[in-house]
């Protein structure tokens, strides 16, 4: 999935945090909902301005960010 057309980062929108393009729905909010086990249809019901493909784009964006960044975890 090419997330680039669906995710935007604009300093004038949501303090520059990654959002679903054309909305103020943060990628982190979408990911929190997915991690909590919500069905895509439930997420879309809560945020009707997004589509199924936006959720997939948020996941793909997060995967790409993680490939570029390492977070130290306790051993």
pLDDT score of 73 more than 80:
no
Pick the CATH number of 3-68 from 1.10.10.10, 3.30.450.270, 3.40.50.970, 3.90.550.10: 1.10.10.10
Sorting pLDDT into bands at 50, 70 and 90, what band is 71?
low
Is the C-alpha dihedral spanning 75, 29, 23, 11 positive or negative? negative
pLDDT score of 68 more than 90:
no
How far apart are alpha carbons 23 and 42 in whole angstroms? 18
What pLDDT score does 67 carry? 86
| Annotated domain spans of the chain | 3-68
* pLDDT above 70 as % of the chain: 91
- Tens of pLDDT, residue by residue over 45-66, are 999 999 999 999 999 999 999 8
What is the DSSP code (8-state) at residue 50? -
């Amino acid at each position: 999935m090419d997330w680039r057309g669906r995710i935007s980062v604009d300093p004038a929108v949501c303090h520059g945090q990654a959002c679903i393009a054309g909305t103020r729905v943060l990628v982190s909010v979408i990911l929190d909902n997915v991690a909590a086990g919500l069905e895509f249809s439930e997420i879309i019901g809560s945020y009707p301005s997004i589509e199924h493909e936006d959720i997939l784009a948020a996941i793909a964006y997060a995967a790409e960010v993680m490939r570029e960044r390492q977070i130290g975890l306790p051993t």
